[in-house]
A and B are shown apart, each in its own frame.
Chain A
Amino acid sequence: MSTFKYGDELSRDEFYRAAIQPDFPDNMQFVLTATTNFGENVTFSQEGIDGMVEQLKSFIMARILGTWHKTNVAPHELTVNMRLEFKADEMEKLRKGDWPWWALVDEGKNHLDGSHRVRDERR
């Protein structure tokens, strides 16, 4: 199985050229990783998910063209078996301090009284 990570140094054209080869594996694992930078958005971005869907579309189209190239006959039926696995590790991250809120301190690093309210519509 080949693994393709969104954000790797591989352009869409390069990916397409590789995927169109008849011997390119049919099993493909797409991996999307959220940034691990402390303090940035730690979940997947819409852009990242869109990019992954785009890769799936490219992969399917490339396999159609690769099959055509290999058999010299235009394919007329397409079956795609997908095994979706969503692997998430919130609990592990949770223990490392990856909660969606923060403690507020003053300049002297003293913790300050006060809370964070998620919504501002309702009182």
Chain B
Amino acid sequence: MNGDDVLAIRKEWEQYNYADYLPEATVLASRDWTLYVRAMTAAMPRDLESIHYPSEAEVRWAWPEGVVIVFDEPLALTHLIISRDKKHVGTFGISREVEDIPPIEERQELQAMVFGIGQLMKTRVKGGSTETIESMYAIPTMFIGVNPDDIISGTWIPDGDTHVMGGHTMSESSMFMLSVITALGHRLTKHVPVPSAGRGERRRVQRELPSLRMLSLAGGASVSEREGSPQRHPHRFRWIVRGHWHTVAHGPRKTLRRLQWYDPYIKGPEDKPLDERRTVWRA
């Protein structure tokens, strides 16, 4: 996918009623970056009772006005759907009325993910049809399918918990979202110019979507200076420790737990060659 392709996708979205909600800032997620994020999702514990989302500061969130992430290659993602629009969708197609449904896992061919502007969002209490007066600070999110008709919305509660729905495991889409949020700000993510076919295309992109960048994975893992602990057998190689999640205690008297991602790094005696078997990210 190149700059023109991203422009074409955004142009298509302009026909839809959510066009007004789309931020201007756009990034193209390269295949490698997406695979890495999927690997982060796959590495997450399966028995999570809740997810503690990081605050904007913790992930160095750089998009207070929101951002659209277009995936170079669409991916299949499973969501836990808990509500739908009511049949009547309103005069201009945007429904303000939702109805709860029994939670059901559904797949989506995902083309893009949108993070909106942090705001006080209304809440509904489970099982109730009307919203409550209480509102919570959240960043609204939207998953846009390959078919732009197919819209799924959710929320990122910065520095807040999302609890698993009774009788279900944590949805893949929530874990994917946590991975995306974490990966966007971590040091392995590089913002590079989008590949383009020629000068004309570069000019078009510059004119119509000046913020467009591509997310790519920085080459090589970071090097750990740490001395190895005593070993029974001397190592013959240095090796790459794959990225992984740790449960970190935080909050008042360290009573709360959250998952924190640790980037891949290189371990082993510095005088030994690096075991260069490639890490294959499975997604």
Contacts and interface: CB of A to CB of B under 8 A. Distances in A.
A45 B89 CA distance: 11
Contact of A101 (B90, B100, B140, B147): B140
A123 B146 CA distance: 12
Contacts of A107: 125-126
B141 to A, nearest CB: 9
B214 to A, nearest CB: 27
A53 to B, nearest CB: 13
Interface string A52-83: 00000000000000000000000000000000
Given A43-B91, A101-B140, A113-B168, A122 B149 contact: yes
B134 interface: yes
Interface string A14-40: 000000000000000000000000111
Chain B interface bracket (under 10, 10 to 19, 20 to 34, 35 or more): 35 or more
A94 B21 CA distance: 8
B152 A115 contact: yes
A100 to B, nearest CB: 5
B154 A116 contact: yes
A87 interface: no
Interface in B31-49: none
Nearest to B83: A116
B135 interface: yes
B121 A103 contact: yes
B223 interface: no
A119 B123 CA distance: 21
Interface string B102-126: 0100110000000011011111111
Contacts of B163: 106, 110-113
Interface stretch (B1-9, B74-82, B270-278): B74-82
Of the listed residues B92, B96, B134, the one surrounded by the most CB atoms of chain A closer than 10 A to its CB is B96
B84 A102 contact: no
Contacts of A49: 91
A18 B173 CA distance: 60
B162 A111 contact: yes
Contacts of B165: 112-114
Contacts of A105: 123-126, 132, 134, 136
7 contacts: A99-B116, A104-B123, A113-B170, A113-B174, A114-B81, A116-B84, A117-B106
Counting from the closest, the 4 A-B pairs by CB-CB distance are A114-B82, A118-B151, A115-B154, A101-B153
